[in-house]
Amino acid sequence: MDRLPHEPKNFRDIVEADLRRAARLVVKVQDEIDPQFRFATPEGDFHLPVTMPADLCGRKVIFRNLALLFAWKQTFGYTLASELHWPDSVLCVGFMGKERYACLARITRHPKPWTATNFGPVEWLPNHHLDDDPLLSELLPQGAREMSAKDLAVIDKWFGAYGKFPAMKIATGELGI
């Protein structure tokens, strides 16, 4: 799947650009990809791949820590690009203020190796699909939050330069938050 034919002009374009980036990553690794977060903060955008555990309890722990990170970084928008098994596709969702978008591109898994031609066109989903998952819709901070030393230690343990899932500042490539 190719890049957008133009620079993103709005948040919807960013969601589509991140979908296309995830599809190119699938082609590059020739395997499933981990969920890919991109989050926007006053100090710039960050990229964060996260391996999600199969169990709901483990996913809730990760999302709780992501919400803590997003509060600390004053995140005002994010995208999440991932693969779906049904329909077999790459999906990207985006949340910024009242804006919510979801799009997907279906994958044909044969023949391998996969190329850009294995992906169908971008399909936009109705916003009501995003209301079904509070883990996604409640990630953005709802206001200022005081951070304790324990909170900052958790953030560093999970997303710092030597953390389990180090965040990367997109503009510089620097690891860590």
Query: What are the extents of the domains in the chain?
Result: 11-169
Place of tokens 């082609």: 27
132 has a pLDDT exceeding 70: no
135 has a pLDDT exceeding 70: yes
pLDDT confidence band for 110 (50 / 70 / 90): confident
* Beta strand residue intervals within the chain, DSSP E: 36-41, 44-49, 77-85, 88-96, 99-106, 123-124, 168-169
| Token pair of 8 as six digits | 């993103």
More confident residue, 144 or 161: 161
Q: Which amino acid is at 162?
A: Y
> Most distant CA pair in the chain: distance in Å?
52
**Which pLDDT score, from 0 to 100, does residue 44 have?**
95
User: pLDDT exceeding 70 applies to what percent of the chain?
Assistant: 99
pLDDT confidence band for 142 (50 / 70 / 90): confident
Q: Which amino acid is at 174?
A: E
**Which pLDDT score, from 0 to 100, does residue 98 have?**
87
| Token pair of 40 as six digits | 């926007």
Q: Helix 149-159 vs helix 56-72: angle between axes, to the nearest 10 degrees?
A: 110
**Which pLDDT score, from 0 to 100, does residue 129 have?**
72
